[in-house]
């Protein structure tokens, strides 16, 4: 019965994800991260707690002059005996930049570019600069760091560094990048966009926000 239901979902949409299949099936247990979501919502009062302003979500990603379709976007289900669809691979531009992005409810903290992300760079350059920026006004500011489970983030050197600098780590469920603000908001806003320079990426977003403000004003009128 479940197999037939899953097959029907796949036939209707070859791009349906396994999480969407789980969500549409009444017999499946809660998805990974369910308890984490509930605990985190309770802790921060569904986002209404002032402690939300202490959370800083960070990630590192490559920004290209053109970002091709990512793997989840191009993935399709193929039944046994079917031929795999042909995927056209577009070459990436040589021009690229590693951007470390940290976002909090109070704003965005830009950092210098980096070619290789290692625990040494993360604890001696990246995080120290982040802490300096965040504590310019309030040296005693509480910082709750939310990051994924990348090797540079989970390395022993990083784990030792966090308590030394009085950084609290907000745990994160494995394989659930969709529950991190940098993945479901910041990174997706940049993917698929063409930029002539790193600075243009910033001002492109700024222009879009201004246009949204104009459109909203027209709607109100």
DSSP result, 19-78: HHHHHH-TTSPPPTTHHHHHHHHHHTGGGTSGGGGGEEEEEEEEEESS-PPPHHHH----
Residue 206, pLDDT score: 35
- Each residue of 166-178: pLDDT tens digit? 999 988 777 666 6
Backbone angles phi, psi at 98, to 5 degrees: -85, 120
Identify the CA nearest to 115 among candidates 96, 94, 98.
98
Would you kindly state where each structural domain of the chain is located, as residue ranges?
49-77+88-220
What would the two tokens of residue 142 be? 């509480």
What would the two tokens of residue 13 be? 């949409």
Spatial distance between the Cα atoms of 169 and 167, rounded to a whole number of angstroms: 6
Spatial distance between the Cα atoms of 117 and 81, rounded to a whole number of angstroms: 41
Block mean pLDDT (10 aa), the chain, length 221: 75 72 57 71 84 84 61 71 69 62 74 73 91 87 88 92 92 71 56 49 45 49 42
Residue 156, pLDDT score: 94
Superfamily of domain 49-77+88-220: Ribonuclease H-like superfamily/Ribonuclease H (3.30.420.10)
- Each residue of 88-131: pLDDT tens digit? 555 554 566 677 778 777 777 766 665 678 899 899 988 999 89
What would the two tokens of residue 120 be? 């040494």
Q: Global pTM?
A: 0.57
Residue 2, pLDDT score: 72
Q: Which residues pair with 62 in a beta bridge?
A: 98
Residue 137, pLDDT score: 77
3-state helix, strand, coil in the chain (%, to 5): 50, 15, 40
Residue 169, pLDDT score: 92
- CA dihedral of residues 207, 210, 212, 216 (deg, nearest 10): -170
């Amino acid at each position: 019965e479940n197999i037939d239901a899953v097959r029907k979902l796949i036939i209707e949409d070859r791009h349906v994800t396994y999480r969407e299949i789980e969500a549409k099936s009444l017999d499946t247990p809660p998805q990974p991260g369910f308890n984490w979501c509930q605990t985190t919502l309770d802790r921060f009062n569904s986002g209404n707690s002032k402690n939300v302003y202490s959370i800083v979500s960070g990630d590192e990603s490559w920004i290209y002059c053109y970002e091709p379709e990512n793997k989840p976007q191009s993935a399709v289900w193929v039944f046994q005996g079917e031929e795999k669809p042909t995927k056209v691979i577009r070459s990436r531009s040589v021009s690229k930049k590693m951007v470390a992005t940290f976002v909090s409810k109070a704003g965005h903290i830009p950092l210098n570019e980096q070619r290789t992300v290692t625990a040494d760079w993360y604890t001696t350059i990246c995080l120290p600069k982040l802490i300096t920026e965040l504590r310019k006004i309030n040296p005693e500011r509480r910082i709750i760091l939310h990051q994924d489970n990348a090797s540079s983030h989970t390395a022993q050197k990083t784990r030792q560094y966090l308590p030394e600098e009085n950084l609290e780590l907000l745990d994160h469920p494995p394989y659930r990048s969709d529950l991190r603000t940098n993945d479901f908001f910041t990174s997706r806003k940049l993917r698929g966009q063409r930029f002539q320079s790193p600075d243009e990426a910033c001002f492109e977003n700024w222009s879009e926000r201004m246009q949204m403000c104009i459109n909203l004003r027209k709607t109100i009128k």
